[in-house]
Homo-oligomer: A and B are copies of this chain.
Amino acid sequence: MASSPIWASRPKTRGLVLDLIRAARTISRVELATATGLTGATISEVVRELMGDGLVVEVGRGAPTGGKPRTMVQLNPLARYSVGVQLERNTCVIVVVDLAGRQVARTSFQGAALSPPEQALSLVASQVEALLATAAVDRDKVLGIGLVSYGPQDRRAGVLLTPQPTEDWLDYPVARRLAESVGLPVVLDNDAAAAAIGEYWMGAVDPRSTYGCIYMATGIGGGVVVAGEVYRGSSSNSVEIGHISIDVHGEECPCGNVGCLENYAGPSALVRQAVATPGLAQRLALDPAGADFLTEFARIAAAANTGDAEARGLVEQSARYLGAAAVTMTSLFDVDTIVLAGPSFAVAGSIYQSVIQQEVDRRMFARRAHRVRVVPSVNGSDAAAIGGAVLVLQSELTLGNPRPEDARPVPAS
């Protein structure tokens, strides 16, 4: 059998130390030595290197401990940047984030993926260029672009393995095409996996946590993070929770499965159910022929929030279906937290959170072992785009395996 070297190498050491500094916000060299088990000398050398690269700076002194005051180090958030592009049927969101994952610029536009890919990616490229110009970010400090979209994908090849939204997109080299246009490395990844890792980078979860993310935009996706790394599986096509069957006797889905969660709980299902509810469509001025069902969905979610009983009933039903899937996620992945992320939780997020929490509390298999908390994402609607940018930061800086074979950024031409 062949196995690649797994030993603590220089980049791995650097990456871990940088990740500890990121997570701690400020930390002393002594604390870094304790946390890693490395010698003080090694830590000093690694920190010197990180400071030389501008990634880390010294700040003030730690709290007095009786002995010699300790110099603290912290991340220099302005040392590097990355770009996140979330490409969806209806919306494209582009963000520029700094090393701390904080959004420094954002833009969005409609209908990108409805154009042929060539044209759509040209538009994305020009928007990325414009955003970098607006943000006045030094291009040399931009590590790359994380392009995130729905699955299935061939992550290594940088292509989508789905004829969504049109046949043109299937097998089209989206990552290479965008890299060529912008002149920056591009990694393709799953939008929900990206949304999941953002929570870790922002420090919103315990670093050792195994947690899941349910991501809802036009469709429903999922991601699981184990101790700071996205759970990948054999081909990075994992946690496709929108297409697990919640009814083995249900209707066939275009994906090939039957009774898929998305067709019961997703925004388009809710709009369909609302239109079929006598009087509701008229009361909420829904347009059943509307091109963008997310607008109609937001109207239903808003009505649920403001007390329309029927709208609320539909949202709660959708939340119960999502709760059933969340229970499956806990029974299979044994997560300790479920994060709700994405634009379709923006309006009625608190209803979703409360119903899903109830379902999980009541039905999860290992509830005698521990509780699972259901929480909103700290990155809200933009979680996938921000997460896409974070995946680039993580892959280049802290995972110690910059450009692994299965995620090699397509080089810019």
Contacts and interface: CB of A to CB of B under 8 A. Distances in A.
Nearest to A6: B16
Going nearest first, the 9 A-B pairs with the smallest beta carbon separation are A5-B37, A233-B334, A237-B366, A238-B334, A152-B366, A161-B368, A234-B336, A210-B234, A246-B248
Interface string A342-366: 0000000000000000000011111
A139 interface: no
B370 A234 contact: yes
Contacts of A369: 152-154, 161, 235, 237
B370 A257 contact: no
Interface of A: 1-8, 16, 20, 23-24, 35-38, 151-154, 161-162, 206-210, 222, 226, 231-241, 243-249, 255-258, 264, 321, 324, 327-329, 331-336, 362-370
Number of copies: 2
A334 B235 contact: yes
B20 A365 contact: no
Contacts of A363: 256-258
B245 A328 contact: yes
Contacts of A161: 366, 368-369
B256 A364 contact: yes
A366 B190 CA distance: 13
A240 B332 contact: yes
Contacts of A6: 8, 16, 36-37
Given A235-B370, A237-B334, A255-B365, 15 more contacts: A1-B24, A1-B206, A5-B38, A151-B366, A152-B366, A235-B369, A237-B369, A238-B332, A241-B332, A244-B328, A244-B331, A244-B332, A246-B247, A247-B249, A256-B363
Contact of A331 (B206, B232, B243, B321): B243
A244 B8 CA distance: 39
